[in-house]
Amino acid sequence: MSDTPLSVSELTARIKQVLEQGFAHVRVSGEISRLTRPASGHLYFTIKDRHAALSAVIWRSTVARLGMLPEESGEFVFSGHLSLYEPRGSYQLVVTRIEPAGAGRLAAEFERRKQLFAERGWFDPENRKKLPALPRHIGIVTSATAAAFEDVRKVLATRPGWLRLTHAPCLVQGEQAPASIASALHRLGHMRSPPDLILLVRGGGSIEDLWCFNDEQVVRAIVDCPVPVMTGIGHEIDITLADYAADLRAATPSNAVELACPSRDELRERLPRMAMLYGIVQQQLMRWRRELSQLEQRGWHAWERRQDARHHACEQKLSLLAHQARNAASQARRTLRGAEKNLARQEPAQRLRLQRRQSTNHAMRLAAAIHRLQQRQRQRWQPVQERLMAIAPALTPSREHRLLHASQRLLRLRGEIVERRRQGCLERRHRLGMKAGDMLNRHKQQRSLLDGKLQALGPMRVLQRGYSLSYAADGSLITRASRLTSGDIMTVRFVDGKVDAMVRSVDRQEVS
């Protein structure tokens, strides 16, 4: 050894080389403490046990692809390599993978189930079904929101256009995932037109995330499925018991699609005459397009002629209907006017006014008749009175007295006759007034009776008897249950208020 002293940088570089080469891959378990997340996106923390502590870091690029992130005070198994930070002369563990501390128990359970299922013959190669070389119908079992489903769709876009796809969505993580996956496989395998091949795919994750694919329900469903099943679960290093039971295992979901069906380019390479066949098909398609265009033009012209004829016939029918509607409206107006006139004549007030006018006319005619009668009586007795007055001087007192007495009796008689006639006219007028009053009272009673019936049939009286009115969201009255469906909102009106209600179910009944 040379006595020449080493600089700090040289010594640190040698230590770095030895440390990083000697501990290029390590696995260490411990508890996390002093976890920090700076704005750079890296994770810095300390791994400790009872007697020692170790600085560790997870770079931002690694954080983005880890299936799980460390938590303060959590116990994990960390995989990575040691690195020396030369400016400070300190070393740290650069973590590339994290597993829960119980991953060892899961690994042991994985081996136990693997041996058990193998003894049942579920992994025997001779039981595997043959995959179709060129499937026409492929079923996909995965979550509709998984990234693996998007990867599968992207790769399928490069496959032949006639390829039919059927997606059976299911859960691919959690306690409910095994039953969901088994149900999806059963649905696809027992369709009326089942697919030629089923792809069971899922993206990468920790052993806990992929543990549902080691469940007995999933493995049994793959074995019992009448359709060949290809798995593409996790990354290339991830292996589940479903992969052992499948008819073929792919490294990733995208690789599963690539193995399931060749791309268009591969099919062209397999068929050297494809270009010639493509040209023939193109010529046939062009010929069909020309024929289709001609047929479309002929059909369009025929359709235009039919439309013109229908339009002309429709215009004639509309004109006829408008003429008939005008005639019907005119007839209805005439009928309505006649009914209005009859109704106006039958109106109690109108009839009372007519009777009053008639009574007034009768009274006027009676007064005129009395006046004419008085005139005639005056004219009749005037000559008699004049003769009496002429002969009055020649009469004796007794004769004059008798004549005066007879004249007074005649005057009294005339007055009685006039008074009786006047009383008779007044009585007839009174009887007419009494008759008109009775008729008016009867009409008032009938009107009161009809008003009472109308009020009894009014909405508020109906509501007071325990009924209610239902209105739809647009304000229209609901009269039939057929207008409603489950989930509709309606307003129910009672006598003292209204409430908003939602329809839970509708029981429709036929109405005769």
Tens-digit pLDDT string for the chain (512 aa): 556 888 888 888 888 888 888 888 898 888 888 899 888 889 999 998 888 899 999 998 888 887 677 888 778 888 899 998 888 888 899 999 887 766 556 777 888 899 999 999 999 988 889 988 888 899 999 988 888 888 888 888 888 777 888 999 999 988 899 999 999 999 999 999 999 999 999 988 777 788 899 999 999 999 999 999 999 998 877 889 999 999 999 988 888 888 888 877 777 776 656 566 777 888 888 989 889 988 888 888 888 788 877 877 777 887 888 888 788 888 888 887 877 777 666 666 667 777 778 878 877 887 788 778 778 777 777 776 677 666 655 544 555 566 567 666 776 776 777 677 777 777 777 777 677 667 777 777 777 777 776 666 666 677 777 778 888 878 788 878 777 888 888 888 887 888 888 888 877 776 65
- Same domain assignment for residues 157 and 225: yes
Strand 229-233's sheet: what is its strand order? Answer: 164-169, 137-142, 197-202, 229-233, 248-249
- Same domain assignment for residues 133 and 263: yes
Given this model, what pLDDT does residue 206 score? 73
Is residue 112 domain-resident? Answer: no
Given this model, what pLDDT does residue 245 score? 92
Given this model, what pLDDT does residue 82 score? 92
- Same domain assignment for residues 70 and 192: no
d(CA 67, CA 75): 16
Which residue carries 């007064």 as its tokens? Answer: 367
Domain finish residue from 219, 252, 270: 270
Nearest to 463 by CA among 455, 451, 474: 455
Is residue 343 domain-resident? Answer: no
- Same domain assignment for residues 190 and 203: yes
- Same domain assignment for residues 245 and 123: yes
- Same domain assignment for residues 265 and 296: no
Directed axis angle between helix 348-391 and helix 397-456, to 10°?
180
d(CA 84, CA 94): 10
* CB neighbours of residue 413 within 10 Å: 10
Backbone angles phi and psi of 469, in degrees to 5: -115, 135
- Same domain assignment for residues 145 and 286: no
Is residue 1 domain-resident? Answer: no
Domain finish residue from 210, 238, 270: 270
Given this model, what pLDDT does residue 150 score? 85
- Give the CA distances from residue 431 to residues 27, 157, 424, in Å, rounded to whole numbers and listed in that order: 128, 106, 10
Is residue 113 domain-resident? Answer: no
Burial 27-66 (b: 16+ CB within 10 A, else e): ebebbbeebeeeeeeebebbbeeeeeebebbbeeebeeeb
- Same domain assignment for residues 92 and 186: no
Q: Which range marks the domain in which residue 371 is found?
A: 348-456
- Same domain assignment for residues 173 and 187: yes
Is residue 166 domain-resident? Answer: yes
Is residue 153 domain-resident? Answer: yes
Given this model, what pLDDT does residue 247 score? 92
- Same domain assignment for residues 137 and 261: yes
Is residue 512 domain-resident? Answer: no
Domain count, the chain: 5
- Same domain assignment for residues 224 and 307: no
For residue 32, list its beta bridge partners: 47
Give the 3-state secondary structure percentages of the chain, helix then strand then coil, rounded to 5: 55, 15, 25
- Same domain assignment for residues 15 and 130: no
* Helices and strands per DSSP (H, E), number in the chain: 13, 13
Is residue 134 domain-resident? Answer: yes
Directed axis angle between helix 177-189 and helix 216-224, to 10°?
10
Pairing of strands 197-202, 229-233: parallel
